[in-house]
Amino acid sequence: MISIQGLRKVFKTKTNTITAVDRLDLDIQDGEIFGVIGYSGAGKSTFVRLLNRLEEPSEGSIKIDDKEITELNTNELRLARQEIGMIFQHFNLLWSRTIEDNIAFPLEIAGVPKAERDKRVEELIRLVGLAGRENAYPSQLSGGQKQRVGIARALANNPKVLLCDEATSALDPETTNSILDLLVDINQKLGLTIILITHEMHVIRKICNRVAVMENGKIVEQGDVLDVFLHPKETVTKKFVEQVMGNGEEDDLEQLLAEYDQGNIIRLHFVGESANQALISQLAKKYNVDLNILQGKITQTQRGAYGTLIVQLLGNTDEIDKAVQYITNKTSVEVEVIRNVK
């Protein structure tokens, strides 16, 4: 669907040269929700603006549906942009226009007849959950409602791709979740490819299929969201994962080992369906061991749940070994032995 090769953007001033995007390669599949995450200054917003040439690339290739975006002339680019919707952090609505007039604006620009335009606007207002608010003005709306108008406007021309540049960062957590749920619904109903730019890992966790991590204009890590959460390689990725999972576990581990100084201590890594297994109760029934959950956290991604539990096992050594062996051989839960008492 989208193929990006060698993409580069250099900003030049009188005294300095800044490489905002540095020879970036990326493939995004048709119909997926793809996240791009990075801290401020990583180059992610410049990257997304290069995709529809709101910023002109210095070098590189951008292909959408085998159409080379970087080679289009002005008229061809105007037509191509109708297939690339975009929503922004600060909504960018026309304050003197009503909701329906804001949504209709790109259709007016495209020369769509009024009857057809009105029908499309009505469909979009229902889709984004704003029925009954058609004649309101942006100043009369909440932040979440304004972003729903922005989404409807971006969908007006039936785009194939939706670009979201920090679309939820100005919203409170509850409103953020409702907007993310709306994007998932749109993705499923319309088969739309969504590229989501953010600095918040919980946004990636909640709706994205795959993610690329940007730092200093480069993609330093990418993959399925669940895999990146489970096995972050780069320091910047680990920091983002800590936003969701917390970073106190290793600091607390020594204290746990000192406080619970008897028995074996294991860490269980749950992935996907295994996170929903009643494993602890199964072990207690099957083996003559006492189990004490010392610490744990489980969270959800689009591909399923994952998380960790730190468990103390007390009892006969042979029974403990059998219990650990059962987990290792009979389930998809990964076992890490932290303390093994013989």
CATH of the domain at 278: 3.30.70.260
Distance (Å) of CA 203 to CA 135, 169, 288: 31, 10, 43
Task: Decide if pLDDT at 324 tops 80.
Answer: yes
Task: Decide if pLDDT at 114 tops 90.
Answer: yes
At 154, list the tokens: 């971006």
Task: Decide if pLDDT at 283 tops 90.
Answer: no
Degrees (nearest 5) of the Cα angle 302, 221, 55?
95
Answer yes or no: do 239 and 290 share one domain.
no
Answer yes or no: do 196 and 302 share one domain.
no
Answer yes or no: do 231 and 331 share one domain.
no
Q: State mean pLDDT over 52-56.
A: 93
- Closest-CA residue to 162 (of 63, 4, 8, 34): 34
Tell me which of 194, 221, 244 is where a domain ends: 244
Count Cα atoms within 13 angstroms, Cβ side, for 45. Answer: 12
Q: State mean pLDDT over 303-309.
A: 74
Given pLDDT bands bounded at 50, 70 and 90, which one contains residue 227? confident
Answer yes or no: do 67 and 100 share one domain.
yes
Answer yes or no: do 213 and 109 share one domain.
yes
Predicted local confidence at residue 36, as pLDDT: 96
Phi, psi of 22 (to 5 degrees): -120, 90
Distance CA 214, CA 168 (A): 19
Given pLDDT bands bounded at 50, 70 and 90, which one contains residue 336? confident
Answer yes or no: do 196 and 300 share one domain.
no
Domains held by the chain: number: 2
Answer yes or no: do 274 and 197 share one domain.
no
Degrees (nearest 5) of the Cα angle 75, 81, 87?
150
Residue bearing tokens 């993609």: 219
What is the domain-level CATH number for residue 68?
3.40.50.300
Tell me which of 202, 219, 244 is where a domain ends: 244
Answer yes or no: do 37 and 128 share one domain.
yes
Instruction: Look at 254 and 248; give whichever has higher pLDDT.
Output: 254
Stretch among 45-49, 118-122, 175-179, 275-279 having the lowest mean pLDDT: 275-279
Answer yes or no: do 140 and 87 share one domain.
yes
Tell me which of 193, 211, 244 is where a domain ends: 244
Predicted local confidence at residue 328, as pLDDT: 84
Computed over every residue of the chain, the mean pLDDT equals 89
217: left (phi over 0), alpha (psi -120 to 50) or beta: left
- Tens digits of per-residue pLDDT, 68-80? 999 999 999 988 9
Q: State mean pLDDT over 304-312.
A: 80
Given pLDDT bands bounded at 50, 70 and 90, which one contains residue 23? very high
Answer yes or no: do 257 and 282 share one domain.
yes
- Tens digits of per-residue pLDDT, 163-187? 999 989 888 989 999 999 999 999 9
Predicted local confidence at residue 335, as pLDDT: 86
Query: Are the beta carbons of 24 and 7 closer than 8 angstroms?
Result: yes
Distance CA 229, CA 339 (A): 25
Predicted local confidence at residue 247, as pLDDT: 57
Given pLDDT bands bounded at 50, 70 and 90, which one contains residue 274? low
Task: Decide if pLDDT at 125 tops 90.
Answer: yes
Given pLDDT bands bounded at 50, 70 and 90, which one contains residue 268? confident
Domain hosting 164: range is 2-244
Answer yes or no: do 230 and 135 share one domain.
yes
Given pLDDT bands bounded at 50, 70 and 90, which one contains residue 251? low
Count Cα atoms within 13 angstroms, Cβ side, for 246. Answer: 12
Residue bearing tokens 């037509």: 79
Q: State mean pLDDT over 17-23.
A: 94
Question: Helix, strand, or coil here: 61?
Answer: strand
Query: Are the beta carbons of 28 and 2 closer than 8 angstroms?
Result: yes
> If you count them, how many residues does the chain have?
342
Answer yes or no: do 222 and 239 share one domain.
yes
